[in-house]
Amino acid sequence: MDSLIVATPSKTEALERRYGAGALKEWQGPPASPWNETIALMLDHRSVRSYRPDPLPPGTLETLIAAAQSAATSSNMQWVSAVAITDPAKKKVLAEIAGNQKHIEQCPLYICWVADMSRNQRISDAEKTDFECMPWLESFMVACVDASLAAQNAVVAAESLGLGTVYIGAMRNDPIKVAELLGLPPQSFVVFGLCVGYADGKAKSEVKPRLPQSIVLHKERYDATKEAAIRATYDAEMSKFSARHELQAATWTQRVLNRLGPIKSMNGRETIRASLKKLGFELK
Amino acid sequence: MDSLIVATPSKTEALERRYGAGALKEWQGPPASPWNETIALMLDHRSVRSYRPDPLPPGTLETLIAAAQSAATSSNMQWVSAVAITDPAKKKVLAEIAGNQKHIEQCPLYICWVADMSRNQRISDAEKTDFECMPWLESFMVACVDASLAAQNAVVAAESLGLGTVYIGAMRNDPIKVAELLGLPPQSFVVFGLCVGYADGKAKSEVKPRLPQSIVLHKERYDATKEAAIRATYDAEMSKFSARHELQAATWTQRVLNRLGPIKSMNGRETIRASLKKLGFELK
């Protein structure tokens, strides 16, 4: 971790940033809960949407992919591929698909994470054996999980090297156009993209508080009885965060209402089932 | 990382274990590719299916959940919950659902990772606002991704503390029974479980080689032209691994044929769409 630019925060600082100074009262862990540099690194995660143009050290991409491939994969099927994009023209098109997210153009490395069942389909073709387990929602879901576990390892690796990242779900605004641009075979699909690069120090970036652990972690059995009251403490915390960052929706509750209420906030992604069918996923 | 029991391997050792000594010739990264302890930790991942009964240090669960909540989450919707199971009777039932995976009973902590849209549905109900974005495959997929990113952070945190883990996808053998056992509300669903505990040192555990990076990582555009030949080198590597561990299927290709060919290897999971509908997911 010697290449980390920012010193890792102490445990109390890290928990305060992650749950908010006010909401830390909700923290249920004992003071002696275990802690180390790797955990401090993960708690310090923030999404980076402004990058310096500086190139990455040689071999960074390969190291990130080695970390990604080291994540668990269901039955070792390895239903994940990565397409690394550095070509400015390609990044420009991808940024447009994503609703003009300029950080896709800014970052020196953009990785498209592919739920990739095509590699196994090629084995079916080569061995002239019908794969009865392919056309199901279950298998597609496993491929998406595989891709997610892999990508998250890459994120932790990147952050351990002092790099910033942000996931780009908006690749799903137009999965067919993305697949065409990347030359993807049938039965493969970009679940999300990932910007990787050095954060622009001038741009503000702050750890975003999350819901109090007491309504996310359940013991033995799911229990939502105290949820509304605890959510109110998070709303108060997020109001302070929103004020600091001039965000429109003040509370988390208001943000959820805005994001999930009107269909237009899906940016067309409600059509993804039809797009996936065109890409070769039956999803039975 | 002072609590790691096993010394982290060197970069060359780590890459040899991950890609196989033979397949390391395929490694495309330059010798000077970046490296640190966190990356070494991730490359050293192996799934642990045999646990000592030793309890975890106080606060371990809460630390793992703090790491999990620190992962990125789409639009900060936080569509993830965790149900921690330590009750032996509950673990026994879950082990049975998973096809008698004894490590679920052995491990001191079993975490069920929930794709949880119910928390946001409760906001819709409380605020008397219809959430038009809920009933779509897209939103369900995002919840599964959110749960996966969170769980993977917990895995890295656990391993950084010297603990072993293994994901249990077989919770999806009977998602409805799992939901009933955990008291899950509609629109929530256990994507997978996770065993956490100290690996039984007597049980053999070895890093499993993955596909050569050259057919997983694509640059600018997907390219499968050399795949068949490179897959043959991986088959050779996995044959050696299989021989060391007395596994039935020798090559990866044979394992893929066994796993994806006959529908019976899905253990009934081809019915998951119907189960998800019963759990409140429309998946339009």
**Is B270's CB within 8 Å of A184's CB?**
no
Per the DSSP assignment, residues forming a β-bridge with B166 are B195
Q: Where are the domains of chain B?
A: 1-44, 46-205, 208-268
Note whether A136 contacts B255, CB cutoff 8 Å.
no
Instruction: Report strand pairing: A109-116 vs A188-197.
Output: antiparallel
Nearest by CB to residue B39, choosing from A27, A81, A157, is A157
Enumerate the residues of chain B whose CB falls inside 8 A of the CB of residue A75.
Answer: 255, 259
Rounded CA gap, B130 and B127, in Å?
9
- Best mutation target among A222, A237, A282 (most B Cβ atoms within 10 Å) is A222
- Residue A26 is predicted with a pLDDT of 66
**What is the average pLDDT across B8-23?**
85
pLDDT digits (tens, 9 = 90+) for A129-178: 999 999 999 999 999 999 999 999 999 999 999 999 999 999 999 999 99
Q: Which of B30, B86, B129 sits opposite A58 (nearest CB)?
A: B30
CB contact under 8 A, B169 and A142: yes
Of B78, B259, B262, the CB nearest to A210: B78
* Residue of chain A nearest B135, judged by CA positions: A270
Q: Which residues of A touch B249 (CB under 8 A)?
A: none
Overall average pLDDT of the B249-272 stretch = 94
B103-123 average pLDDT score: 98
Summarised one tens digit per residue, pLDDT across range B82-100 is 999 999 999 999 999 999 9
- DSSP state string for B205-223: --PPP---HHHHEEESS--
pLDDT for residue A5: 44
Distance to chain B for A54, nearest Cα, Å: 16
Q: Above 90 in pLDDT, residue A247?
A: no
Minimum distance, in Å, between the CA of residue A135 and any CA atom of chain B: 9
Task: Say what the ipTM of the complex is.
Answer: 0.96
- Does the B46-205 domain belong in CATH 3.40.109.10? yes
* Per-residue confidence (pLDDT) for residue B2, from 0 to 100: 36
- Hey, how many other C-beta atoms are within 10 angstroms of the C-beta on B262? 14
* pTM > 0.90: yes or no: yes
Q: What is the pLDDT of residue A92?
A: 98
**Can you list the pairs that B243-248 forms with residues at least 24 positions away whose Cβ atoms lie under 8 Å?**
B244/B206, B245/B204, B245/B206
Task: State whether A265 and B133 contact (CB < 8 Å).
Answer: yes
Q: Round the average pLDDT of chain B to a whole number and report it.
A: 93
What is the 8-class DSSP label of residue B174? S
Residues of B in contact with A32 (CB under 8 A): 57-59
